[in-house]
A and B are shown apart, each in its own frame.
Chain A
Amino acid sequence: AQTVTQSQPEMSVQEAETVTLSCTYDTSENNYYLFWYKQPPSRQMILVIRQEAYKQQNATENRFSVNFQKAAKSFSLKISDSQLGDTAMYFCAFMKHGGAQKLVFGQGTRLTINP
């Protein structure tokens, strides 16, 4: 079974700083997908970024980028020029390729951006 671990329960940075959230996972699969979801206080689950394991290039979406290290089974999220609206819970998630489309989530990191 796959597991996802987020080792930082909480983080706090000042507005405009860069912050990196950690995620590691355990799987015997070779092909899979990784995601970061954001959950603000409004409770919505919002997709931030996704990575396909067979792609070596790290995914980027505006101020959000990932550092995907397949051999190390690591998938960190970097938020550049952080904004107050980035304050939220962030969940790392794993889905294997093919078969059941089951998202396995980490426990989440609560990120606070301070003015």
Chain B
Amino acid sequence: DAGVIQSPRHEVTEMGQEVTLRCKPISGHNSLFWYRQTMMRGLELLIYFNNNVPIDDSGMPEDRFSAKMPNASFSTLKIQPSEPRDSAVYFCASSYESGNQPQHFGDGTRLSIL
């Protein structure tokens, strides 16, 4: 089975530009998570979806960040406008709903905002 697929793997852009990160969860998984990893703050949950519906977005840092899940096989995390402090590795993870099922992570997108 294919794992969680994220694109792009790396993104370098100038501040003020719109950035869109993409994620395809594992087929059959109905929960999807977006995490951000930085040296200062470690791994933080930004938002999570269950059955395509956002359940907890309390980790989304500002209105510049938005996430969508239009169907069970695709999600996006968008930053508009981007700022240098948004530079981080962004992970997408998916799992089956039951809590004892582990989250499977994608390879992450390393985002650099110049």
Interface set of A (CB-CB < 8 Å, partner B) = 33, 35, 37, 42-47, 50, 52, 91, 95-98, 100-108
Contacts and interface: CB of A to CB of B under 8 A. Distances in A.
Contact of B56 (A42, A102, A104, A108): A102
Most buried by B among A43, A52, A101, A103: A101
B89 A101 contact: no
A91 B44 CA distance: 12
Interface string B25-62: 00000010101000000110100101000011000000
B48 A47 contact: no
For the residues of B in contact with A, the DSSP-based class is strand
Contact of A33 (B42, B55, B100, B107): B100
A33 B103 CA distance: 12
B99 A44 contact: no
A101 B104 contact: no
A42 B35 CA distance: 17
Interface in B76-114: 89, 91, 93, 95, 97, 99-100, 102-105, 107-108, 110
- Which 3 residue pairs are nearest across A and B when measured between Cβ atoms? A45-B105, A105-B43, A47-B102
Contacts of A47: 102-104
B43 A100 contact: no
Contacts of B107: 42-44
